Amino acid sequence: MCKTLDMPKLELTEDQLFIRLTPSEKLAAFHGDLTVNGIAIRGAAVADKSWWKTLGLRIGTGLPGVIIAGTFIQPGDRAFVSWTRRQGLPLEITLAAKMASDARGTKYTRIIIGVEDAQGWADKINDAIVSC
């Protein structure tokens, strides 16, 4: 019998994306589950092979090539990441950052997470954006 990998569970509704982390992911990332307003999502794609090189200062756990989790900050970018090498290339969701006058955005500009079928989730998220 094959053991299922611990991965975040995604749920996409008409107006929100819910990202439910496992207890170990919450511990590694120093973060709880995430909820993103659909209007803040700009697009999604499977990250390229050198995605981890685009991250900034880490608040969380990191061992490049093994586990990367937490909030990463650099000028103009704030990314939430939850990934382990067993998960393959992660899903990268691009978001509208929150402006002082716009409560619809998020505090992140990107969410990068290891999920089963990253391409399938990217297609589902992008289809939902287009259908709005």
- In the chain, where are the structural domains located? 9-131
DSSP 8-state symbol, 100? T
Quick check: 1 pLDDT over 50? no
Q: How far lies 60's CA from each of 23, 43, 121, in Å? A: 14, 25, 25
pLDDT, position 2: 39
Q: Give pTM, 2 decimals.
A: 0.86
Distance CA 37, CA 66 (A): 30
Q: Tokens in use for 27?
A: 């511990």
**pLDDT digits over 21-60, tens only?**
999 999 999 999 999 998 899 999 999 998 988 898 999 8
Mean pLDDT of 90-113: 78
Q: How confident is the model at residue 103 (pLDDT cuts 50, 70, 90)?
A: low
Q: Which of 68, 43, 34 is nearest to 53 (CA)?
A: 68
pLDDT for 123 equals 97
Contact 95, 106 (CB under 8 A): yes
